[in-house]
Each structure stands twice: as structure tokens, then as C-alpha cells.
Structure 1
Amino acid sequence: MFSTRAIVASAIILAGLAWADSCDDIEDTSSIEVARPLSASYITERNDYWSTSCRAMKPTCVLFPKSAAEVSTIVQVLTSNSEPFAVKSGGHNPNNGWSSVEGGPLISMEKLDQVTLDEETGIARVGPGQRLDSIAAELDGTGWTFVGGRIGNTGVGGLILGGGLSYMSAQYGWSASSVIEYEVVLANGTITTASATQNPDLYRVLKGGGNNFAIVVSYLLQTYRQGNIFGGNLVFKHTDNNARELLKAVRDFTEYNTDDKAAVIVTAERAPVDLIDSWILFLFYDGPDVPEGIFKNFTDVGPILDTTKVQSYAKLMAGSNWAVLPASAVQIGTETVPLPSAADGEEIMGAFHEHWRSMSDTVQLVPGIVSSIAFQPFPKAIAEAALERGEDLINVDPDADRLIIEMNYAFSLQELNYQKMDQKMQETYGGIRNRVLAYQEQRKLPDVYCPLFMNYAFHRQDYWGRLKPEDAEFARDVAERYDPTGFFRDRTGGWKP
């Protein structure tokens, strides 16, 4: 008679054999590149994440498809078993299991890296293996630009599927707003396209719906005319007075700026024992000639460092990767908040900032800790530009100005500190949310629709619960139609409708 220990050991061995089936089957029956543990390409790909917590996850193998047909082959093999898997574009999302996987194959889109541009129309075919800095480099000198994010190392796939907030969003909407067509592999291995005229329901949910519906193997994008731009950073020492002035400046900019070519991000950052206690601003103008006074409220505060200059968008993207902290576990959370009035702005913006400072005070002894909060304007113009380019799941009405607040913790020794920082992140974004609700009860903030921005959301946040109910229901219906077995919903990470 077998002992309990022997039965458990046998089950583990059998499970391991079953989980290896996809890697073995793909290697034995196709020419798809399969990287095994200890190989150089496996190690490189496994380590190429923003967060060390994602790097700690161990896929059974890494698959490197080079075409839609090879992605289809992989999907068909995966449907014959029940192992988990993940699809990775750039690996910038720090939520464990979103683009990383333990005990199943990792599908790397690295080799699907095409960028083909029609220089007359500005229409480009782009693969999910591209990152923002590499796309910008490919387009540099053509006179066209992609509506991407703000950190060059960000992968195209995760950015667009989450919506994508750009310096150019007030002009052109979300990054996803400029997608003309998605080429996708469905849960049954079918290769098809989603556009306004073909599979329009799938087309809509892919704009803000994440990885729940298909694997995107290429994007057909509308790019836009662009020459040199103005951009860079302003750095300020933190003082109470600087904080008040910068918070007022970003509040006022969100409401009063009428030049859609101008964009700002206002970020506070701290590290232990006041080694860093500063404000870092990202300034951008889509053109070389900045109208006088447009950033005056920020520059008047008195930066101690100014890197802004006229440069190409490609150089701006290439120079932005200092924001990616190597060898750190990373956690990101978010809140979308109504913009407070000028009369209540100092109180409310100050309350958000002070809550974040009080939270960051409690983690100053965590090894390697860097805490930050970013106030990002979400004016009506972004919602208007997005709606002009078609429906998406985010579906924000241009009825109010808002702010997207991003909160970050980066730290060392993730094995010891991850759960503690998980709880701290919940308290941080939860405190912002509670303050919004309290101010709405007091009628100091308007009761407007404030969806969570997927690209910055923490794994414990209820992305689908913050969408309009009719949009969440629409996404569930589309998922049932295109993936009736729950292939993507049950076997990959991410927020599930």
C-alpha cells in the first residue's frame, strides 16, 4: 500500500510531466524556437521584467513565435491541456502572473517586432515585440509618430491593451484610439482581424480590455505628423511651499490649459532618510516652439535641475528609461479622481499628497525603498479625442476634468517584503479612494464616472467593477462568444471580466 507521501510525490511528478507537454509537443512538431531553463535565451527573457517578483516566476519554457501561424500552433497545443501560460510583450507590468508564469510556457512576442510604415498615409503595421523607444527609433526621421506612453522601455502590447496614456492623448486620445485593426489569434487558434468593420465587438473590447479575448500578433496604427518636440524633466527639492505650488499648478493646468500639444506629469518621490525627497516633473510640447507662459506655473517654483530641450521624440523616449529601477520589486496602484475646484483645490490636493507621505513614512526602513506618486492630468480633451476615434471600454464622457494618480513602491528583497508592501499599496490607493468618497459626500468633489486606468492598476484592484456596468457586461458577452471555454480567462493572469 502506497504511503500518503508517495502518492503526493507521484502526483507532483505526473503534474510536472503534464505541464511539460506543451513545450515538448511544440518542440517535437514544429520549428518554433523553444528555450529551456539554463539556456541563455531563457535566462535573458525570464530576467527581462521591470519587477524582480516577475523575474522570480519560473516558466517551463519560453516560446519565441515568429508569425501569426506559429502563435496559432502554440494556442492549439495549449488547448489540449490545462497548464497556465502567459504572453509577454515588454514585461513592464509588475503584477505577478500578468505577463509572467510559474509552471507553464511563456510566449514571448520578442520576434514579432515588425514596423512597416506607409510614409504617405502614416499607417503603420507594428508587432507586439516592439517597445516605445524602439518604435520611436524606427519612425525617427519619417515625420510620423506613434501615440505611445512616456517610458521608452514599455512594451507595445500591454500599453495598447490597457488603453495607453500618452503625452499626445489630449490630441489623439488613448494609444488604443489610434488602432485601425488588430490581427489576432483566437482561443481556438483561428487567425483573424478585429476592426470597425470586421469583428467590431472584439475591436472595441481590445481597447481597454486587456488580455482576455485573443492574442494580438500585430497592430495597424494611425501615426501622426511630428517633427522635433520640446521635452524633459524639471527637478525640485521638496518643501511644504513647493508642494503646495506644484499641486496647484497641476490642478490649474488640468482645468485651464487649452493647448492640446502641451502635457505634464507631476511626480513626488522619496527614498529613506531624506536621501531623496523631491519632485520630478515631465514636461512635453508637441513642437519645437513652446508658447510663452504655458509651463510658467511650474517653472516659477524654481527647479534645481532642468533637462528640458528641443529634441526628437525618439531621443526623449530613449532618455526616459532612467525611471525603470533595476533589481527592484515593483508595485503600482492607481486611482482616477475628479478634479477639485480652484476653491477646494489646495485642501483636496494637499490631502491626497499628505496621505501618500504618511504611507511612505511607514516604509522608510524597507530595504531599497523608493516611493512615488504621480498626478497626471486627465482633462476633458482626452475623453473627447478618444470618443472621436471610436468606442472603447474605458468610455469616459467629456463631462468633467479628472486626474489619474499613479502610486509606486520599489524595494529590495522581494521574498521578505512583498506581502508587507502588498498591504501597504492597498492602504495607499485605498486611502485616496476613501478621501474621494468623503469629499463627494461633502459635495466638494463632483460625483462623476472615474474608471481605473488598467495600465497602472494593482492586481487587487477591481478594474471591471469600476467600468460602467453596461460596458463590463458587454465585455463578458464578447468573452463568452470568442472564448466560450475560458481559455484566456482561466489560464492567464490579468483582471477577468
Structure 2
Amino acid sequence: MGCSVPTFLAIFGLLASKVYCDTCSSTEALGTINVTRPLSLAYIFEQTQYWSASCSALAPSCIIFPNSAAEVATIVKALANTTEKWAIKSGGHNPNNYFSSVEGGPLISMDKFDQVILDPATGIVDVGPGNRLDGIAAKLQGTGWTFVGGRIGNTGVGGLVLGGGLSYMSTQYGWAASSVLEYQLVLANGTIANVSATSHPDLFTTLRGGGNNFGIVTNYRLQAHHQGNVWGGNLLFLHSPSTDSKILKAVRDFTEYNEDEKAAVIVTAERANLNAVDSWILFLFYDGAAPPAGTFDNFTSIGPILNDCRERTYADLMAFSNWVIVKASIVDIGTETIPNPSSENFSKTIEALHAHWRNVSDTTLLVPGIVASIAWQPFQKRIAQQARARGPDLIDADDSIDRIIIEMNYSFLPLTEYDRMADTLEATYSGVRNRIVGWQADGTLPQGYLPLFANYGFYRQDYWGRLRPESRALAKRVTDEVDPEGLFRTRTGGFRP
């Protein structure tokens, strides 16, 4: 039903038993699942809901909007009868083409899975992958509970949690994935499984940092945590060599010395066309109405030209953060991880890496609409400790060293610059990586396990190769078990073990 037999075959009676189906047509023919085609308003709007315009430029053959796990299972079974490329989309914040976007095949949008169902007695909350972080925060506002999510409100739940998820609250509770108690998962064979540490322990572990390799999540059962108002906002500084050095030293020192698990920072430098913008924007967060005196003095004492940090609701903080999204731009994001250097080797390492970023980003300042940025994000031992205390995950970070996660972004307008800017991003993160490896070899930096953070990974980076061999082997074995025909492995985008 809903499939067609080509006319010339019908006329000549050749291959009469062969029916050619596509998922869009066969799902549409059921009459029970919402299927939208190009030129429909719902299709057009959904295509605007990507962070990167390069993903929006890829045109799916249709966009399917299921609203139950059973409907997702029906779609998956239809996909299994085709050879189409396809994609699944939560919030569309991953800018890598084909990770949540597709050209010429069906796109499954999880937009209708927007449930946020809280048990106020236990703090256990069921969250659908159609939610964005600001939406969850708004729905939980006033309950006294919060979730361990990311830092930008417009971020979709699905990609964030499956990639691990770094949060302002990671030093208290580990990764966003560390708070998952159970996944409702549609497997490649169309069955629906409730996956927990006791029911499917290996699959449960691989879903914590393994991305979209194992099935389609239709519900995350999470442990929420008590929370009242928070304190946070931004500091703004203008670039100068002296200011750069002081800010970079402050983030190094904060990574080593901060003992307050409720405090978090993101330290970001940004440049725009012809240095019309050349500044620092720092994100400060404290899980409480006000930080204890001195918590952020290393940053505030440098003398920001703007400081809007104040007490606010968590929902307000999440909504406020969305200013960072540059609509209608193409976005490339890459990442690296560095051991936190000693104070003595700070200039040789962190300052040198920042100078490398400035040198490479110099070459982009004539690209229309360019915004080049680099973010320095503390990855303290405490995060690894808290994650491990909440069960195994594929990231499997240890607490032998403090680390810093570096995020490198290029946002720009012309699609014609896509390949050149991809090469530029690769030159940026490869230069960082090569320097780190060299400094570890000569003793400037400590040895240590340095995984790539999947949520910031560029499609050319070897995410799986940077995990522990045991994690990759586990993921490969589980993938072979749950997806033997390669529905996820070979027909949709993402990092593959």
C-alpha cells in the first residue's frame, strides 16, 4: 500500500512481483503518521530549525513527525525495507552535515516528543527528545527541581545527552548522560526496549556517549536535582595581549584550584569581520543565589567592561543564553582536550595555543559574516569522579589529571566557503593537537587520557579513536548485536565505532 509499480513494468508484465517502496510513501499511505512534503509550511519551518544553514540546505524527501514510540517503530520497519539514506533530528544543534540532516531521504523529526513529566516526590522526570533545554527549564520552573543539561537553551536534548553533555552542574552530577536512569529505545528491528543499568547493562553504557548508533530514543528517564534560584551571566572584555594573558591564566588557575562544585565558567574569545569584534565573553554560573566572596575574583578583578551576573531563575538563565546562536549562518565546530598545565608552563602551552588560534583565524576575517571563536572550558577531576559515581559511560574519564576542553567555532555566511572553512577548522584543531602531543612527549604537559568531547566533535575528527580501546570495543560489539543490518551504521550520519 502506498508503493507504486512503474508503468512500463506493468505494461510489459515484467518483474510483476517487484514493488518499489520508499519510506515517505509507505508511511504516508498508512494515514496515521504525519508526513510532510517539500513546500508545505511544516516542512519549511522544520528545515529552519538547525544551528547551521548547511544542514538546512540539505533537502529531505519528506519530514515525518511521529508522536509515539509505536509510530517510530513503524517508521523504522519501513526504513528497513528500503536502502534510503535517512536522518533523525532532535534539536538540530549539531552542525555536521548528515548527523541530523539528509539529502533526498526521509528525515524523522522528534519535535512531538516534548513531554516533561516530573514526579515531585522523587525528582524523577521523563523527558522527550523533542525538547530543548530552555523548554525543559521553563516547564520545571517553580517545582524545586532541575535537570543536568547543557549551557545554551536552544540545544536539543537528544544529541546533547547521547553525546555525554557538559553542564554547568557537571562538577556536582557528572555528564548530562550520568543522570539518565532509563532510555525508551526503538531498535533497528522495530522493537521497543526500556534500557536501564539492570535490564540491558551494556547497551545502557553505550548510550552514554555513544551517539545515535544503537536506536532511536523516545524518552529519557532522568534523575533531577533540587535547585532554587541561581546566579550567573556574562562578563565582557575587549581583546588586548595583556587582557588575553590574564583571562587565560585565570581559567588555568580556576581549573586547578576551584574547590566549589557549584561554580562553573566558560571562557570564550570571539572575532568578527576585520576585527569589528575582538573580545572575550565569559559565562559565569553559581548554583545558588550568590557565590561566596572570592569565587570568581580571578576573572572579575581583570576589569570587565560589562558584568550582568545576578541572581535569576535557571529558566531565565537558559533563555538568556540563546543570544549566542547566529541564525542563517553556516557553523563548523571542532574540539580538543588538553591536560591543565602547571603554572610554570602556562605561557608555553595555553598562551601558545591561543596565539595559534588567532593566527589561523586571521586568515578568515574577510569571509562574509565570519565569527571565529574559541572556548576554554574546565574539565576538572571532580567531573570524572561524579560521572563514575553514577555508573559507567563510554567517555570513561579518570581523575588522574585536570583537563580543559577547547571548543573552536567558525560561523560564516556563504555556502561556497564550506569546504575551505572546513579545512581551516581542521588546521585549527590539528595545530592544537600536534602541539599537545609534542608537549606531552617532552614533559611540558603531563601524560593522561584525553578523549574528544563528542558534542563538539567535527565530522573529520576521530571520536572513537580517542576513546579507550575497551569503550570502542564494547560499542562495536553492541552495535553488531542491535543493528546487524547496518540501518544506523551505514545509512545515517554520525561518529561510527
Counterparts of 1:422-437 in structure 2, within 5 Å, are 422-437=422-437
Kindly indicate whether the alpha-carbon contact (under 8 Å) linking 2:21 and 2:82 is maintained by their aligned counterparts in 1: no
Kindly indicate whether the alpha-carbon contact (under 8 Å) linking 1:247 and 1:346 is maintained by their aligned counterparts in 2: no
- Classify the secondary structure of the residue corresponding to 2:345: helix
Query: How far apart are 1:20 and its partner, in Å?
Result: 6.7
Q: Which residue of 2 aligns with 1:315?
A: 316
Amino acid at match of 1:193: N
Counterparts of 1:338-357 in structure 2, within 5 Å, are 338-357=339-358
Deviation readout 1:62-95 (Å, 9 max, x if unpaired)? 0000000000000000000110110100000000
Q: Which residue of 2 aligns with 1:115?
A: 116
Deviation readout 1:29-86 (Å, 9 max, x if unpaired)? 2400000000000000112100000000000000000000000000000000110110
Deviation readout 1:325-348 (Å, 9 max, x if unpaired)? 011000000001111011111221
Kindly indicate whether the alpha-carbon contact (under 8 Å) linking 1:36 and 1:62 is maintained by their aligned counterparts in 2: yes
**C-alpha separation between the residues in 2 aligned to 1:81 and 1:290?**
56
Q: Which residue of 2 aligns with 1:260?
A: 261
Amino acid at match of 2:362: D
Counterparts of 1:298-377 in structure 2, within 5 Å, are 298-377=299-378
**C-alpha separation between the residues in 2 aligned to 1:212 and 1:248?**
39
**C-alpha separation between the residues in 2 aligned to 1:464 and 1:289?**
40
Kindly indicate whether the alpha-carbon contact (under 8 Å) linking 1:172 and 1:386 is maintained by their aligned counterparts in 2: yes
**C-alpha separation between the residues in 2 aligned to 1:393 and 1:411?**
33
Deviation readout 1:99-120 (Å, 9 max, x if unpaired)? 0000100000000110000001
- Classify the secondary structure of the residue corresponding to 1:491: coil
Q: Which residue of 2 aligns with 1:150?
A: 151
Deviation readout 1:123-147 (Å, 9 max, x if unpaired)? 0000000000000000000000010
Q: What 5-or-longer segments of structure 2 have no aligned partner?
A: 1-17
**C-alpha separation between the residues in 2 aligned to 1:158 and 1:94?**
11
Q: Which residue of 2 aligns with 1:392?
A: 393
Q: Say whether residues 1:420 and 2:420 are aligned partners.
A: yes
Query: How far apart are 1:381 and its partner, in Å?
Result: 0.2
Counterparts of 1:459-478 in structure 2, within 5 Å, are 459-478=459-478
Query: How far apart are 1:404 and its partner, in Å?
Result: 0.2
- Classify the secondary structure of the residue corresponding to 1:494: coil
Q: Say whether residues 1:281 and 2:290 are aligned partners.
A: no
TM-score, normalization by structure 1: 0.96
- Classify the secondary structure of the residue corresponding to 1:343: coil
Query: How far apart are 1:19 and its partner, in Å?
Result: 8.8
Q: Say whether residues 1:218 and 2:225 are aligned partners.
A: no
Q: Say whether residues 1:175 and 2:176 are aligned partners.
A: yes
**C-alpha separation between the residues in 1 aligned to 2:318 and 2:53?**
23
Kindly indicate whether the alpha-carbon contact (under 8 Å) linking 1:62 and 1:106 is maintained by their aligned counterparts in 2: yes
Q: CA distance change for structure 1 residues 83 and 447 in 2, over 3 Å: closer, same or farther?
A: same
**C-alpha separation between the residues in 2 aligned to 1:301 and 1:228?**
27
Q: Which residue of 2 aligns with 1:444?
A: 444
Kindly indicate whether the alpha-carbon contact (under 8 Å) linking 1:20 and 1:60 is maintained by their aligned counterparts in 2: no
Amino acid at match of 1:305: L
Q: What 5-or-longer segments of structure 1 have no aligned partner?
A: 1-16
Query: How far apart are 1:274 and its partner, in Å?
Result: 1.8
Q: Which residue of 1 aligns with 2:484?
A: 484
**C-alpha separation between the residues in 1 aligned to 2:289 and 2:50?**
34
Kindly indicate whether the alpha-carbon contact (under 8 Å) linking 2:338 and 2:450 is maintained by their aligned counterparts in 1: yes
Query: How far apart are 1:289 and its partner, in Å?
Result: 2.4
**C-alpha separation between the residues in 2 aligned to 1:87 and 1:147?**
23
Amino acid at match of 2:494: G
**C-alpha separation between the residues in 2 aligned to 1:244 and 1:397?**
29
- Classify the secondary structure of the residue corresponding to 1:342: coil
**C-alpha separation between the residues in 2 aligned to 1:372 and 1:434?**
20
Kindly indicate whether the alpha-carbon contact (under 8 Å) linking 1:57 and 1:102 is maintained by their aligned counterparts in 2: yes
Query: How far apart are 1:21 and its partner, in Å?
Result: 1.5
Moved over 2 A (4+): 17-20
Amino acid at match of 2:488: F
Query: How far apart are 1:428 and its partner, in Å?
Result: 0.2
Kindly indicate whether the alpha-carbon contact (under 8 Å) linking 1:19 and 1:60 is maintained by their aligned counterparts in 2: no
**C-alpha separation between the residues in 2 aligned to 1:382 and 1:89?**
26
**C-alpha separation between the residues in 2 aligned to 1:194 and 1:435?**
41
Counterparts of 1:161-240 in structure 2, within 5 Å, are 161-240=162-241
> What is the identity percentage for the equivalent residue pairs of Structure 1 and Structure 2?
60
Amino acid at match of 1:424: T
Query: How far apart are 1:200 and its partner, in Å?
Result: 1.0
**C-alpha separation between the residues in 2 aligned to 1:441 and 1:212?**
34
- Classify the secondary structure of the residue corresponding to 1:320: helix
**C-alpha separation between the residues in 2 aligned to 1:256 and 1:471?**
30
TM-score, normalization by structure 2: 0.96
Deviation readout 1:164-223 (Å, 9 max, x if unpaired)? 000000000000000000000000000011101111111000000000001000000000
Kindly indicate whether the alpha-carbon contact (under 8 Å) linking 1:234 and 1:308 is maintained by their aligned counterparts in 2: yes
**C-alpha separation between the residues in 2 aligned to 1:257 and 1:406?**
21
Kindly indicate whether the alpha-carbon contact (under 8 Å) linking 2:275 and 2:365 is maintained by their aligned counterparts in 1: no
Kindly indicate whether the alpha-carbon contact (under 8 Å) linking 2:331 and 2:411 is maintained by their aligned counterparts in 1: yes
Amino acid at match of 2:126: R
**C-alpha separation between the residues in 1 aligned to 2:32 and 2:308?**
48
**C-alpha separation between the residues in 2 aligned to 1:343 and 1:195?**
46
Amino acid at match of 2:199: Q
**C-alpha separation between the residues in 2 aligned to 1:300 and 1:347?**
24
- Classify the secondary structure of the residue corresponding to 2:361: helix
- Classify the secondary structure of the residue corresponding to 2:233: strand
Query: How far apart are 1:393 and its partner, in Å?
Result: 0.1
**C-alpha separation between the residues in 2 aligned to 1:229 and 1:302?**
23
Q: Which residue of 1 aligns with 2:15?
A: none
**C-alpha separation between the residues in 1 aligned to 2:449 and 2:438?**
16
**C-alpha separation between the residues in 1 aligned to 2:103 and 2:51?**
17
Amino acid at match of 1:43: I
**C-alpha separation between the residues in 2 aligned to 1:190 and 1:313?**
37
Query: How far apart are 1:354 and its partner, in Å?
Result: 0.2
**C-alpha separation between the residues in 1 aligned to 2:19 and 2:431?**
44
